[in-house]
Amino acid sequence: MAWNEPGGGQRDPWGRGSGGKGPDLEAWLKRLRQRLGALRSGGGGGAGGIGTIVIALLLAWLLFDSWTVINASQVGVVTRFGAYDRTLAPGFHFVLPRPIETVRKVDMTSVRSVSDKMQMLTKDENIVQVDFNIQYQVNNAEQYLFSMQDPDAAVRQAAEASVRRVVGASTMDTILSGEGAAMVAATQRALQQLLNSYKAGITITEVNFQNIAPPSEVKAAFDDVNKAREDKQRIENEAKAYASKILPEARGDAARIIADAQAYEATREARAQGDAQRFLLMLDEYRAAPAVTRKRLWLETIEQVMAANTKVLDESNGRNLIYLPLPQGGTAPATPKAALSGAGTMLQQAPASTSGSVAPASSVTAPAAAAVSGGQS
């Protein structure tokens, strides 16, 4: 008959009546200690005592090794008999006790880092000393644990290979000229590609080149090279400054010369047009009175020629009174206009040809035949 059937005395599984109390755990633990003591003393109990011990150990094993707690920044990787089984999210989980299932906790938020300092060969066969630091995080716990035997050592070796690759593809001048940002980006990209090919489950968060310098044995020579490079840059800047100063002046001078040339061109054109217009007007006058116009032109020409001459012509045999200015300061005085006007009057009194033809040169130039040296009165 079952222990809880009617008429069975309402006994519970612990062999006690229905007194309203639960199982007496303290009494059970007391009996367990007694049996353990009897087993140690070699007393009675025999196989029953050993079985109780085995059951107690089994219960303790199940009680303390059948659950796990994963923190918020972690994930739990569960392996069953050494093979990957599943990944546990943060929280409380039940698992099979070890060695059936094993839980390995991996921190997913902490930033790990590796640093190294080494000498490398550049593209132009120079040696440079590079001090770098790599920071990374785990993005896949399964790959991080099972793809590589030692993930941190693998990251260090991959970082060294990536840095050597970037430095080996650059010249010394490029490395020391301050192009660190481009080199950092290239190193991070190459390192991430290399780790992805390994299925490392790692994300590179930052790459830093803390120091890039030539070896101490040749540092003095490189300092001289850097100084020469700085001098070159300074001279180039001075030349650019001088060019920026002189070029506007040259452009201004060129613009001024062009403007002067254009003004001269306009002046010459206007003067030529005026001369042509004057010649046309004179032509009309010549057609109307050839002899008068011809004599007037001759007189005007002689006046212009003799205006700066110190010689005076007199053919009146002393009948005309001529005022001759004395030279002052060694400069040649201008010819008095009275003398020229008198000569012009004499020429106008000469008879003109009735036929309208040009008068002979002897009759026109007769009043100006004799020349008296300047300074005689």
Mean pLDDT, residues 90-105 taken together: 83
At 49 the pLDDT is 59
pLDDT tier at 136, thresholds 50, 70, 90 = very high
pLDDT tier at 176, thresholds 50, 70, 90 = confident
* 3-class secondary structure per residue, the chain: CCCCCCCCCCCCCCCCCCCCCCCCHHHHHHHHHHHHHHHHHCCCCCHHHHHHHHHHHHHHHHHHCCEEEECCCEEEEEEECCEEEEEECCEEEECCCCCCEEEEEEECCCCEEEEEEEEEECCCCCEEEEEEEEEEEECCHHHHHHCCCCHHHHHHHHHHHHHHHHHHCCCHHHHHCCCHHHHHHHHHHHHHHHHHHHCCCEEEEEEEEEEEECCHHHHHHHHHHHHHHHHHHHHHHHHHHHHHHHHHHHHHHHHHHHHHHHHHHHHHHHHHHHHHHHHHHHHHHHHHCHHHHHHHHHHHHHHHHHCCCCCCCCCCCCCCCCCCCCCECCECCCCCHHHHHHHHHHHHHCCCCCCCCCCCHHHHHHHHCCCCCCCCC
- The CA–CA distances, whole Å, from 240 to 1, 6, 228, 243, 251 equal 112, 113, 18, 5, 16
Q: Hey, which of 27-31, 111-115, 256-260 has the most confident mean pLDDT?
A: 256-260
pTM of the model: 0.46
pLDDT tier at 331, thresholds 50, 70, 90 = low
At 13 the pLDDT is 46
What whole-number distance in Å separates Cα of residue 169 and Cα of residue 162? 11
Asked if the model's pLDDT at residue 151 lies above 60, the reply is yes
Lowest-confidence segment of 129-143, 226-240, 257-271, 335-349 by average pLDDT: 335-349
At 8 the pLDDT is 47
The chain-wide mean pLDDT, for the chain, equals: 75
At 358 the pLDDT is 37
pLDDT tier at 36, thresholds 50, 70, 90 = low
At 337 the pLDDT is 46
Report residue 319 CA to chain centroid gap: 98
pLDDT tier at 25, thresholds 50, 70, 90 = low
Asked if the model's pLDDT at residue 11 lies above 80, the reply is no
Asked if the model's pLDDT at residue 318 lies above 80, the reply is no
pLDDT tier at 239, thresholds 50, 70, 90 = very high
Question: Using one digit for the tens of pLDDT, what is the confidence trace for 116-132?
Answer: 888 888 888 888 888 88
Asked if the model's pLDDT at residue 21 lies above 60, the reply is no
At 253 the pLDDT is 92
At 273 the pLDDT is 93
Q: In 3D, which of 151, 133, 134, 159 has the Cα closest to residue 199?
A: 151
Please give the share of the chain, as a percent, with pLDDT higher than 70.
Answer: 73
